[in-house]
């Protein structure tokens, strides 16, 4: 469904996506990465909006630049910014897309999709009165009018509250069950872990790891030990556990030893002159995988003032 071969994009001398090779078919595929890692750039290339600097991408066998029109007829794309016309009603917003796709009997299809997304009751209200979650579902309804084979969602849950996010993921999972391939970007690891069949973690444009959430977590070790400590823990290391990173005043280790590791590690930390406040053991999460691969790196993208304001507005 989605195949990329050495897909690469340079903005001037900045390499936003580097030699991306993906084979995605009939699954929910999550592209995870910190701000500025190249997620949106990848989606824009796959949706024919941006010309790759080099390399190729195919959607359902169609080349994204040589057969761009064919690609556009089998995909749908919901961008990161929430773009719905607030002066139009929900129904008018979906109707617009149904007509743009040239659907016959578009009225039935529009009603059906508004119902599917739980918007029937508010369909004739202006979108300016909709909550963030409703607007996202409206965008999903727009994207689904022509029953695409591949759906691209760029940060579909950004700025939404917990309940709204859960609803969006519920819809995504049921689309997958109907046979759709879904390509989704996010930086909420927990959501990706729960919903995606496979994920790729990208950092500075390159894939750092790819696989099912389970296998990526499995590679880390059986358990994660989180230590809160004071002192110079940047330089601390031990041969009894693998240090996967630091986050705030916490040091995170992985190990396969079971709970035996706790006293051993505590002893090592004391020996290094660190003051240990607490030690806890838990199962690995995708956040830990992310921490190990990407670290706590600084935000590298240029600050998008408008995006930030929109996020605040949606949260507020």
Partner 1 sequence: MRGVLEYLWRDMLRWTRGKVAVISSLVMPATWLIFVGLALPTSFTTNYLDFITPGILVLTMLTASFQAGSSLIFDKILGFLNKFLALPTPRESILLGKIFFSTARGLLQATVILVLAVLLGAASWSAQVVILTYVLLGVFGILIASFATTIALHLGDHDSYAAVNAMISMPLFFTSSALMPYSVMPRWLATLASINPVSFAIDAIRAVQVNVIMWDRILPLTGMTLLVLAVSIIVFRRTSL
Q: Which residues bind ligand ATP (CB under 6 A)?
A: 11, 14, 16, 33, 35-41, 80, 300-302
Asked if residue 19 binds partner 1 (CB under 8 A), the reply is no
Phi, psi (rounded to 5 degrees) for 165: -65, -45
- Structure letter (DSSP) for residue 12: T
Residues at the site binding Mg ion, with contacts judged by CB under 5 A? 39-40, 80
- Contacts (CB under 8 A) with partner 1, residues 34-63: 44, 47-51
- Cα(301)–Cα(282) distance, integer angstroms: 32
Helix (H, G, I), strand (E, B), or coil: what is residue 87?
Answer: coil
Total residues found in the chain within this entry: 316
- Cα(97)–Cα(86) distance, integer angstroms: 15
- Cα(276)–Cα(62) distance, integer angstroms: 57
- Cα(236)–Cα(186) distance, integer angstroms: 32
Among 8, 67, 80, 206, contact with partner 1 (rule: CB under 8 A): 80
Asked if residue 104 binds partner 1 (CB under 8 A), the reply is no
Residues 106-135: x where in contact with partner 1 by CB under 8 A, - otherwise, as a string: --------------------x---------
Among 17, 82, 164, 269, contact with partner 1 (rule: CB under 8 A): 82
Roughly how many angstroms between the first and final C-alpha of the chain, as a whole number? 39
- Shortest separation between residue 176's beta carbon and partner 1, angstroms: 20
- Contacts (CB under 8 A) with partner 1, residues 140-199: 142
Task: Give the footprint of partner 1 on this chain (CB under 8 A).
Answer: 44, 47-51, 69, 72-73, 75-83, 85, 87-88, 92, 96-97, 99-102, 126, 142, 306
């Amino acid at each position: 469904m989605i195949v990329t071969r050495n897909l690469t994009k340079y903005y001037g001398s900045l390499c936003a996506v580097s030699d991306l090779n993906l084979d995605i078919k009939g699954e929910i595929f999550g592209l995870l990465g910190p701000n500025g890692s190249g997620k949106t750039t990848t989606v824009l290339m796959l949706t024919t909006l941006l010309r790759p600097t080099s390399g190729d991408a195919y959607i359902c066998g169609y080349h994204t630049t040589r057969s761009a029109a064919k690609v556009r007829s089998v995909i749908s794309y919901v961008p990161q910014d929430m773009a719905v016309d607030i002066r139009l009603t929900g129904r008018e917003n979906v109707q617009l897309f149904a007509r743009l796709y040239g659907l016959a009997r578009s009225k039935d299809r529009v009603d059906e999709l508004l119902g599917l997304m739980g918007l029937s009751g508010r369909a004739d209200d202006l979108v300016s009165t909709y909550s963030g979650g409703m607007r996202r579902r409206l965008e999903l309804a727009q994207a689904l009018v022509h029953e695409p084979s591949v759906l691209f969602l760029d940060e579909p849950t950004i700025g939404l509250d917990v309940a709204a996010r859960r609803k969006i993921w519920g819809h995504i999972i049921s689309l997958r069950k109907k046979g759709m391939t879904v390509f989704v970007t996010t930086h909420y690891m927990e959501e990706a872990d729960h919903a995606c069949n496979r994920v790729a973690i990208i950092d500075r444009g390159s894939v750092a790891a790819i696989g099912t959430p389970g296998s990526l977590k499995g590679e880390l070790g059986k358990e994660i030990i989180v230590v809160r400590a004071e002192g110079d823990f940047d330089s601390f290391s031990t041969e009894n556990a693998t240090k996967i990173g630091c986050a705030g005043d916490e040091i995170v280790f992985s190990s396969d030893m079971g709970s035996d590791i706790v006293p051993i590690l505590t002893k090592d930390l004391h020996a290094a002159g660190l003051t240990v406040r607490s030690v806890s053991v838990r199962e690995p999460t995708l956040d830990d995988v992310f921490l190990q691969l990407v670290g706590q790196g600084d935000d590298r993208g240029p600050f998008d003032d408008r995006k930030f304001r929109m996020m605040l507005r949606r949260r507020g």
